[in-house]
């Protein structure tokens, strides 16, 4: 449990009418016996329970996150005794339920439900129930539980934030209204800035993005709020592409902040480069572009490449311009890149099919066989192998039910999959956490996601597919070849996945 969560939990206990009782100061020296004695005297001291559970974990050899479920299960007997001894204590079942929830165990729910039955004002229990419901695929329940957490502790912006976010894919208008209200209600909280950040980041309308980010800048100074600082990075990128003079002004205003020292220089160069392009001084523009060095994972890489291609084409080096965009498009296709390829391709007498062929020549340099697999199904006692999907394009994702980024990506995957219904496209999800198996089938039924869930574990995924974290995604062609690897999809780039799949479908 993080320190921030402990603080919020303590506040929630006070609001729920429960005492936050001091426990042993020397946690590292406190024995399990001493802590049990404290709980016997103060059963509603959540801090004592936290210390007891932590001490118990330390007493188990090789205890880790992966076997956390079984470690916590060893506490059930003790907590059943305390539950009988203190039948009116909501903290006793909550402490065990929270311990299960912290290791993302399906065993958490009955203890959390018992806690809120005893004390409906126990906001942290409602929060953990909400997160747990999400893993079961019960999105309506997750939203309802987080709403109860927010109602039980209206002073906690975190509950209000997550309750608002639960409406994103259900009621977009209400989602926006709630996040704006959050910013008004909590003007001194990072959560308010975070809400505006996601409003801007998830919008597909450039004008709306700018409006939201500018509001965030005014309400939450970037020097003080980290989410606002992140939003300014997005805003700078937008301005650099649409209005570099404003990008220059923004960078100048934030120049004293960490990471902004060179951005005013970059914006100034783009202003000059655009002027040179307008004056058809392409050689001078190309020379300036050659001097621009971006960080490795900059979101501006494609934008600068497009400018370099424009300058090269202006100088008559159309093949260079074409090849530059083709290399990027081969890995991460977008409609804007294709438009450029059509312009530069047409100038060389290339038609649509010839451009496609060129793209595939680039892809062939990195395409390799996908590692074969034969894994158990969750939907039956049978198995599924990669060979079973021969003749189909396969979207393969490695995930586990407790993975928030995985659950956040699924709606966008499903949106794209729905566009290929009836076509030779398969959607497969390999769960890498067997200790969360109990969640999988209910999650599939509750969400309605169409992927076929398969059984594996983290060691297998790391060894066979070199997976280092979840989600990790691959697109496999009809012949079992890895075409696209290590990509992420969200609301801003669903079209990229659509273009990937469509392109592979054409190559049989």
- Residue 259 pLDDT level (bands cut at 50, 70, 90): confident
Question: SS3 of 102, please?
Answer: helix
Spatial distance between the Cα atoms of 236 and 217, rounded to a whole number of angstroms: 12
Spatial distance between the Cα atoms of 300 and 293, rounded to a whole number of angstroms: 11
- Residue 16 pLDDT level (bands cut at 50, 70, 90): low
In this structure, how many other beta carbons lie within 10 angstroms of the beta carbon of residue 374? Answer: 11
pLDDT tens, position by position, 109-146: 999 999 999 999 999 999 999 999 999 999 999 999 99
Q: What is the mean pLDDT of the chain?
A: 93
Q: Phi and psi (nearest 5°) for 377?
A: -90, 150
Q: Is the pLDDT of residue 15 over 70?
A: no
Burial class (CB in 10 A: 0-12, 13-18, 19+), 267: buried
Q: What length is written for the chain?
A: 508
Question: SS3 of 144, please?
Answer: helix
Query: By mean pLDDT, which of 21-30, 186-195, 331-340, 469-478 is the weakest?
Result: 21-30
Question: SS3 of 328, please?
Answer: helix
Is 165 within 8 Å of 198 (Cβ atoms)? Answer: yes
Is 395 within 8 Å of 428 (Cβ atoms)? Answer: yes
pTM listed for this prediction = 0.88
Burial class (CB in 10 A: 0-12, 13-18, 19+), 278: exposed
Q: What is the pLDDT of residue 358?
A: 98
Q: What is the pLDDT of residue 216?
A: 98
The alpha carbon of residue 270 and the mean position of all alpha carbons in its chain are separated, in whole angstroms, by 31
The alpha carbon of residue 245 and the mean position of all alpha carbons in its chain are separated, in whole angstroms, by 32
3-state secondary structure 274-323: HHHHHCCCHHHHHHHHHCCCCCCCCCCHHHHHHHHHHHHHHCCCHHHHHH
Query: By mean pLDDT, which of 71-75, 355-359, 411-415 is the weakest?
Result: 71-75
Q: Measure Cα distances from 99 to 46, 59, 181 in Å.
A: 11, 16, 33
**Residue tagged 């004002």 (tokens):** 121
Q: Is the pLDDT of residue 427 over 80?
A: yes
Spatial distance between the Cα atoms of 152 and 140, rounded to a whole number of angstroms: 18
pLDDT tens, position by position, 434-479: 999 999 999 999 999 999 999 999 999 999 999 999 999 999 999 9
Tell me the average pLDDT across 179-189. 97
- Residue 312 pLDDT level (bands cut at 50, 70, 90): very high
Tell me the average pLDDT across 159-170. 96
pLDDT tens, position by position, 368-415: 999 999 999 999 999 999 999 999 999 999 999 999 999 999 999 999
Q: Is the pLDDT of residue 5 over 80?
A: no
DSSP-assigned letters across all residues of 443-490:
HHHHH---PEEEE--HHHHHHHH---SSSEEEEE-TTSEEEEES----
Work out the angle at residue 332's Cα, subtended by the Cα atoms of residues 329 and 334, and round it to the nearest 5 degrees: 70
The alpha carbon of residue 182 and the mean position of all alpha carbons in its chain are separated, in whole angstroms, by 21
Task: Tell which wins on pLDDT, 23 or 149.
Answer: 149
Q: What is the pLDDT of residue 412?
A: 96
Tell me the average pLDDT across 45-67. 81
Q: What is the pLDDT of residue 67?
A: 59
Query: By mean pLDDT, which of 28-42, 58-72, 76-90, 102-116 is the weakest?
Result: 58-72
Tell me the average pLDDT across 8-31. 50
Q: How many CA atoms lie within 13 A of 75 on its CB side?
A: 32
pLDDT tens, position by position, 324-333: 999 999 999 9
Q: What is the pLDDT of residue 12?
A: 55
DSSP state of 435: G
Q: Phi and psi (nearest 5°) for 402?
A: -80, 0
pLDDT tens, position by position, 211-237: 999 999 999 999 999 999 999 999 999
Q: What is the pLDDT of residue 249?
A: 97
In this structure, how many other beta carbons lie within 10 angstroms of the beta carbon of residue 85? Answer: 12
DSSP state of 65: S
Spatial distance between the Cα atoms of 228 and 221, rounded to a whole number of angstroms: 7
């Amino acid at each position: 449990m993080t320190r921030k969560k402990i603080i919020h939990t303590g506040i929630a206990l006070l609001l729920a009418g429960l005492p936050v009782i001091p426990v042993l100061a020397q946690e590292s020296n406190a024995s399990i016996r001493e802590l049990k004695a404290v709980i016997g005297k103060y059963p509603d001291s959540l801090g004592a329970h936290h210390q007891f559970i932590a001490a118990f974990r330390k007493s188990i050899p090789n205890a880790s996150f992966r076997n956390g479920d079984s470690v916590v299960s060893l506490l059930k007997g003790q907590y059943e005794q305390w539950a009988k001894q203190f039948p009116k204590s909501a903290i006793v079942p909550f402490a065990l339920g929270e311990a299960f929830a912290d290791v993302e165990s399906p065993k958490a729910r009955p203890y959390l439900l018992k806690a809120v039955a005893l004390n409906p004002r126990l906001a942290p229990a409602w929060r953990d129930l909400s997160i747990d419901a999400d893993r079961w695929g019960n999105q309506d329940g997750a939203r309802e539980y987080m709403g109860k957490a927010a109602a039980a502790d209206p002073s906690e912006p975190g509950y209000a934030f997550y309750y608002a976010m639960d409406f994103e894919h259900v009621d977009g208008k209400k989602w926006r209204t709630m996040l704006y209200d959050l910013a008004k209600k909590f003007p001194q909280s990072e959560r308010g800035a975070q809400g505006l950040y996601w409003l801007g980041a998830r919008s597909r309308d450039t004008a709306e993005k700018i409006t939201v980010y500018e509001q965030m800048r005014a309400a939450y100074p970037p020097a003080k709020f980290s989410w606002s600082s992140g939003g300014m990075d997005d805003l700078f990128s937008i301005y650099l592409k649409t209005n570099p003079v404003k990008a220059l002004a923004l960078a100048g205003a934030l120049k004293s902040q960490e990471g902004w020292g060179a951005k005013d220089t970059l914006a100034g160069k783009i202003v000059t480069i655009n002027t040179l392009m307008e004056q058809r001084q392409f050689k001078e523009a190309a020379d300036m572009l050659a001097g621009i060095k971006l960080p490795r994972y900059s979101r501006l890489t494609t934008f600068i490449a497009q400018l370099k291609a424009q300058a090269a084409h202006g100088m008559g080096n159309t093949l260079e311009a074409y090849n530059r965009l083709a290399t990027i498009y081969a890995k991460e296709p977008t409609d804007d890149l294709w438009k450029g390829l059509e312009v530069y391709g047409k100038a060389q007498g290339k038609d649509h099919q010839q451009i496609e062929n060129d793209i595939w020549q680039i892809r062939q340099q990195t395409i390799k066989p996908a590692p074969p697999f034969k894994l158990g199904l969750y939907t039956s006692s049978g198995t599924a192998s990669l060979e079973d999907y021969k003749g189909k394009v396969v979207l393969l994702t490695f995930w586990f039910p407790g993975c928030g980024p995985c659950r956040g990506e699924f709606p966008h995957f499903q949106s794209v999959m729905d566009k290929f219904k009836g076509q030779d496209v398969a959607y497969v999800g390999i769960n890498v956490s067997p200790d969360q198996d109990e969640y999988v089938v209910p999650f599939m039924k509750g969400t309605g996601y169409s992927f076929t869930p398969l059984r594996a574990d983290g060691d297998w995924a790391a060894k066979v597919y070199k997976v280092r974290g979840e989600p990790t995604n691959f697109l496999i062609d009809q012949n079992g070849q890895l075409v696209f690897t290590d990509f992420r999809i969200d609301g801003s780039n669903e079209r990229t996945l659509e273009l990937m799949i469509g392109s592979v479908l054409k190559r049989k």
